[in-house]
Amino acid sequence: MLEASPLDDGWILRHEDEALPAVVPGCVHTDLLAAGAIPDPFLGRNEGEVAWVGRREWSYESELPAVTSGHEQTDLVFDGLDTAAEIRLDGRLLGRVRNMHRSYRYDVTGLSGALTVRFVSAYAEAEAVRGRTGERPAAYAEPYQYLRKMACSFGWDWGPTLVTAGIWRPVRLERWSTARIARVRPLVTVERGTGVVELHVEVERTRVEAELALEARVGGLRVRGEVSGSCGTVRLEVPGAALWWPRGYGEQALYEVELTLSHGGAPLDVWQRRIGFRDVELDTSADEWGTGFTLVVNGERLFARGVNWIPDDVFPSRVTRERYRRRLRQAADAGVDLVRVWGGGIYESEDFYTACDELGLLVWQDFPFACAAYPEEQPLRGEVEAEARENVVRLMPHPSLVLWNGNNENLWGFRDWGWEERLGGDSWGEGYYLGVLPRVVAELDPTRPYTAGSPWSGSWERHPNDPAHGTHHSWEVWNREDYAVYRSEVPRFVAEFGWQAPPAYATLRRALPGEELHPDSPGMLHHQKAEDGNGKLERGLLRHFARPDRDFDRWHYLTQVNQARAVAAGIEHWRSHWPVCAGTVLWQLNDCWPVTSWAAIDGDGREKPLYHELRRLYADRLLTLQARDGGLVVAAVNQGAGEWTAAVRLRRMSVAGEVIGEGAVEAAARARAVAVARVPAELTPQGAKEFLVADARKSPRSNEAEGGGTLRALYFPVPDREVPYPEPEFEVELVPDGVAVTARTLVRDLLLQADRLAPDARAGRGLVTLLPGERVTIGVEGWETPDAAAARAALYCQEPAR
């Protein structure tokens, strides 16, 4: 039977004559941090102080023990090496590697001694490749397009430039005899209610003549098969198999599959995975609105409630199974049902996809290409195909994985960013996205759809980012426009859009120790990586709010409110236009360090107000007021499995708290549908002193007294800076596990910043608007010494213009 032994102890990191203990898996930066040899690059402006690390050569050294197990072959297996390295054993060259996204295996039978993995600088490797292939344009100056490495190691408009090297995934010895399982490619389908698993098996042998057998088990069934040469296939059928569904649509039924390779009745190797039976399609058919982009799972057409995922740490070896689950649990709790693994990062670890399988989160997986023209010559072309083949097969068992995507923004970049002229006919990646990658997916994983890129209209006959066709990235709004412009069009699928805000206050205090915080203080500017990011923040803020002058706390609150408002403007509008628009994928869920960014969860894992707003925006039932056709409509968006007859109470009110007019409309929404009702003209608010309130029960059985029974939508006809808000008056009292607030006036956008109470404190809700006399209870976790005065000081809301 194959025996595996981890090699995670006894490693030394060496540069020239300097040596220190190393942790494997890990990277040079984390080892240097552990040794106190560099300052924490996440704090202050230390990032620049450690730039030298990425430009040096580093060696990892260990001792490979002599093997006396009696097996015929011993392999040294690296699951991930970052990135360009040579591996030597007792001075003997085992191999040279240049791809972070692949694993490597070396026959070391009978060998032992000093094991050395010498990493050259990623910069040096990139420059060497650039010298062979020629210059290629990119959105950023660093040379990330010339090697197969996590692109955002070189910095991004939300990330630091910390160019890593190291043994970033596990390394082990595998000892085996006769044969081992080299690869299993599971094709999992559903045929007329029967779950079908076809296991396509490849084996490696030490003895060609040995007769090998396969046995597979799933769902109580057992099937045998034979191996011919190096290949074999086993097919299992599970009648009446329970289906795997995305969250909100059904259960996440998972089945254990076990495949045993044997010789003469004795097991040689075992492969085990969990699978889920489900069918997935991507409907890109033409219709009266253009070309659709709708995911269909088990015959159910979905509006995808998505988020973009970046590596959760710029040092990905630090992301544990528990951290993956915590972050993805946060996504699921916010109503998310799709996570896009963005192309400037990595193929994530098994822990990521396993958590998505269990939580019912659909995964859209980019191949790692982003915002650059990529050479198609060697040595890159062979690396691209090899990594794609390995990772497609590696991730195939996961039912959560529903879409392969060729790249991020490169087709768009070729057309709009001046690349075509600069390239002058040189290769730039099109052959990957429209050739190599779809061929690999079609050959190895025909059970899942592939799309060439995001954005992509489906054809060069149309603009790549045409909102009427395929996927669309909406960035003109953040870069140049007011977020109200989101409401000017209805893309078929919004794969990226977003708005910036700073991280939580406690995150800033930890990341910028001792700094007097100001929007343009040195540390704040260093932790703002977007081009003119603060300028865009300010311009977006001043379209809606009065300038907060030099009051940092007020600026911090208002920018977070503006982020939530901007995202709400887009999602409410686009969801109300389902099925024309079939999904929104927020940029972005998470951060990889403490930074001002588009994230809903900051680099320390704290939830911004946007996160809590997502819980409302991505709920099964959403009530929204929209300006359409010269008037107002109320839209009842129902993504639930049952019908929703929304009896909507409408109140036209003054900001002083008076009810000017009152009425009701009914919007009857079928399951997974939207119903729209027009607001009577006499209830439409006029001028700066009026607004409209729409309230509806989530269901006839919902109990308002227990909380969460009523959905509310608000409509103010003018920006906040024009609204004569009253001086907010409210009462605060401590209640078990939280804070209760009772409004005496209109209190808009009330926010309890729980991390100001204690760094680890967390509020159970975000922004809430209260009418006079209304009361809200805000749960607080992690606050060990409750204090009413501290609670009041941590509460923020809209105030009269000063």
Cite the active site residues: 409
Residues in the chain: 802
3-state secondary structure of 222: strand
* Residue appearing with tokens 């930066």: 29
N-terminal to C-terminal alpha carbon distance within the chain: 77
Beta bridge partners of 60: 13, 117
Nearest C-alpha neighbor of 358 from the set 455, 220, 253, 505: 253
Cβ atoms of 583 and 618 closer than 8 Å: no
Do 71 and 178 contact (CB within 8 A), yes or no? no
- Is residue 117 within 8 A of residue 59, CB to CB? The reply is yes
The amino acid occupying position 635 is: A
Q: Count CB-CB contacts under 10 A for residue 66.
A: 9
For every residue of 434-458, DSSP letters joined together read IIIHHHHHHHH-TTS-EES-BSB-S
Is the CB of residue 53 less than 8 Å from the CB of residue 163?
Answer: yes
Asked if the peptide bond before residue 39 counts as cis, ω within 30 degrees of 0, the response is: no
DSSP 117-154: EEEPPHHHHHHHHHHHH----BSSSS-GGGSBS-GGGB
Is residue 413 within 8 A of residue 419, CB to CB? The reply is yes
CA atoms within 13 Å, Cβ hemisphere of 164 = 31
Q: Are 158 and 595 in contact (CB under 8 A)?
A: yes
DSSP result, 316-370: GGG--HHHHHHHHHHHHHTT--EEEE-TTS-PPPHHHHHHHHHHT-EEEEE-S-B
- Per DSSP, the three-state class of 478 is helix
**Coil/strand/helix, residue 53:** helix
Query: Over the Cα atoms of the chain, what is R_g?
Result: 28
Greatest alpha-carbon pair distance for the chain in Å reads 90
Nearest to 599 by CA among 504, 706, 741, 672: 504
d(CA 59, CA 86): 9
Tokens standing for residue 641: 């499995």
Q: What angle do CA 114, 317, 119 make, to 5 degrees?
A: 40
**Cα(245)–Cα(382) distance, rounded to whole angstroms?**
36
Helix residue ranges, H only, 482-636: 505-511, 522-526, 533-542, 552-575, 609-617
Do 410 and 423 form a contact (C-beta atoms < 8 A)?
no
Q: What three-state secondary structure class fits 105?
A: strand
Query: Which run of H or E residues covers position 598?
Result: none
Which residues, listed in sequence order, are joined to residue 160 by a DSSP beta bridge?
A: none
Block residue for tokens 């981890």: 6
Q: Which of 63, 67, 118, 119 is nearest to 90 (CA)?
A: 63
What is d(CA 78, CA 167) in angstroms, rounded to the nearest whole number?
8
